[in-house]
Structure 1
Amino acid sequence: MLLREYMLNRMALFCALVGIFLLFAYANLESPRPIKISDISERHIDTKVTVKGVVAFSKTSGSALLFAIDDGAKINCVFFKPGTEEKIIIQKGNYVEVDGKVKRYKDNLEIVAEKVRLLD
């Protein structure tokens, strides 16, 4: 009886450790990678990234906010839910950090933003 409880405890500990490892691995896969705009390429399509830069232009089109950011290289960004979490007003000249997925749109790479933060 004692041997069975010992084995059961060992199996429970092993399963708990494997579960924690899998959660950690999943969290790392889902977190965006900081990257320079100039380093974004075809291999980053459908990858979550974080970029920082100065807003080169900004305009609203329906429920989408379109803007470009520049850190020496430029990339267009689209934010489909502006104002749903926080009221963010993005204007030309703002320094921002954008988390989102790299996508292809009309033969150009762009970032579909999931989160936009104003930086100072």
Structure 2
Amino acid sequence: MSTRSCPCGLLQAYEACCGRYHSASAAAPTAEALMRSRYSAFVKGDAAYLLRTWHPRTRPGTLELDPGMRWTGLEILDTSDGSAFHSTGTVEFRASYRGGSLHERSRFERVDGAWVYVDGEFLP
């Protein structure tokens, strides 16, 4: 097992953190955990996971990731709902990449008990 910390910013090893969601051996228990795992999937270039965790009503048919994109960090700025006791949630985050950052408020819902990404609003 790797001792490198997970790309999502938590201090756990990737395999014990987002890697278990990517391999489908566990499901993200909260909207924030799903947000972190989706960021890690962007870092790892795992388009299949991103599509699998996208709400069926808003999911694109395909997803082309830029192999030259270098994500450098994730900062969770705010969360609302999104726990085991909720059916919806929002996560505001800043994802940094070489040359800039992306600031978004993402919406999540549960579908058949699993958290999925619905859509997001870009913020200044």
Range into which the TM-score falls when normalised by the shorter chain:
under 0.3
Query: TM-score, normalised on structure 1?
Result: 0.25
The structure richer in helix per residue is 1
Larger Rg: 1
Query: TM-score, normalised on structure 2?
Result: 0.24
The structure richer in strand per residue is 1
